[in-house]
Amino acid sequence: MRASQEVRGEKQRTSEIHISGAEGLYTVSEMQRILREYIERALHHPKGKPDTILLTLEEVRQEPLTISTLPLSTVISDSPSEAKKISGNMLRALRISEKALKTAFAVLQKGNMRGAALISADKGMRLEHDRRRGVRVSRLGIAKPALRILSPRLARLGINTDTVKEALTLASKVASCSGVRAELCISDDPQYTTGYVASNLFGYVRIPTLKRSGRKIGGRVFFIREGSDIDRIIQYLERTPVLVDRIGPCKGIQRAEEILDSHHL
């Protein structure tokens, strides 16, 4: 599903605001219920009212690959500047260059992308073919038995929401893509201020206060190992069906240093 709104700017020029998007892997019997949920989500979104809602349903014949969720944790952070420092340090530990970090934070500050930016981890170059749209991760989902394990684990931490479950599923698919070294995400919902850094090394690390409340900025950046085959990566993220069928550990609040120190790099 993708919902957008056309706005008229200066000199009658029109541009499009991305309101909401959602995707998943479902059985035919779930289709009607999911469509209703997606339409509901598009119509009642904190970013505004869409004038266009596009729904696409495609049969997936390929058997999905199965993966585990990344280990989840949350760091302590109580200001955007602290959150930026924590996310920057974690990404530096993952060998993301200063140049790449600069490009990444500029993309997130600008916002209004439908998909994610691909940035080379070393040179900090934008790699996706369509920079306005970005790369949209699709054909991903979580199997029901896995969801039944995940939900109570998240509930114990007070974070059993669709937002967290969907972001954890997406980050786990992205981390399973060879060539992707790390992901940085900030929600584009004005009130949702928690973001994350995800990687195979540190897991899915939630970072509160990554943006100031009320701001419409946000987005996703995937840091790509230098010299990777970009078309293969895009093909995997957009087209290869991947299903979460195992759940990794879900930890509570930790200090950022604890997470960094637990790995000898």
- 210's tokens: 């990554």
- 116's tokens: 């994610």
Q: What is the DSSP code (8-state) at residue 63? A: P
| 205 within 8 A of 197, measured Cβ to Cβ | yes
For the CB of residue 116, give the shortest distance to ligand WAQ in the complex, in Å. Answer: 4
The interface partner of residue 170, options being ligand WAQ, Mg ion, none and the CB cut-off 5 to 8 Å by kind, is ligand WAQ
| 22 within 8 A of 38, measured Cβ to Cβ | yes
Q: Is 166 in the site for Mg ion (CB under 5 A)?
A: no
Q: Mark 122-133 as b/e (b = at least 16 C-beta within 10 Å).
A: bebeebbeeeee
The site string for Mg ion over 66-95 (x = CB under 5 A, - otherwise) reads ------------------------------
Number of residues interacting with ligand WAQ: please give it, by CB under 6 A.
25
The interface partner of residue 108, options being Mg ion, ligand WAQ, none and the CB cut-off 5 to 8 Å by kind, is none
Rank residues 174 and 260 by Cβ distance to ligand WAQ and give the closer one.
Answer: 174
The secondary element (H helix, E strand) that includes residue 21 is strand 14-21
For the CB of residue 101, give the shortest distance to ligand WAQ in the complex, in Å. Answer: 18
* Region near ligand WAQ per CB under 6 A, out of 3-11, 24-32, 108-116, 120-128: 108-116
Near ligand WAQ in 177-236, by CB under 6 A: 185, 187-189, 192, 194-196, 206, 218-220
The interface partner of residue 151, options being ligand WAQ, Mg ion, none and the CB cut-off 5 to 8 Å by kind, is none
Rank residues 100 and 170 by Cβ distance to ligand WAQ and give the closer one.
Answer: 170
* CA of residue 252 relative to chain centroid, distance: 20
Cross-strand partners of 18: 4
Rank residues 11 and 154 by Cβ distance to ligand WAQ and give the closer one.
Answer: 154
For the CB of residue 143, give the shortest distance to Mg ion in the complex, in Å. Answer: 24
- Interhelix angle 162-175/144-156, rounded to 10 degrees, is 120
For the CB of residue 131, give the shortest distance to ligand WAQ in the complex, in Å. Answer: 12
Q: Which of 23, 128, 183, 188 binds Mg ion (CB under 5 A)?
A: 188
The secondary element (H helix, E strand) that includes residue 39 is helix 31-43
- 140's tokens: 């991903």
The secondary element (H helix, E strand) that includes residue 239 is helix 230-239
| 197 within 8 A of 182, measured Cβ to Cβ | yes
In the chain, the amino acid numbered 32 is: Q
Site of interaction with ligand WAQ (CB under 6 A):
21, 23, 113-116, 134, 136-137, 163-164, 167, 170, 185, 187-189, 192, 194-196, 206, 218-220
Site of interaction with Mg ion (CB under 5 A):
188-189
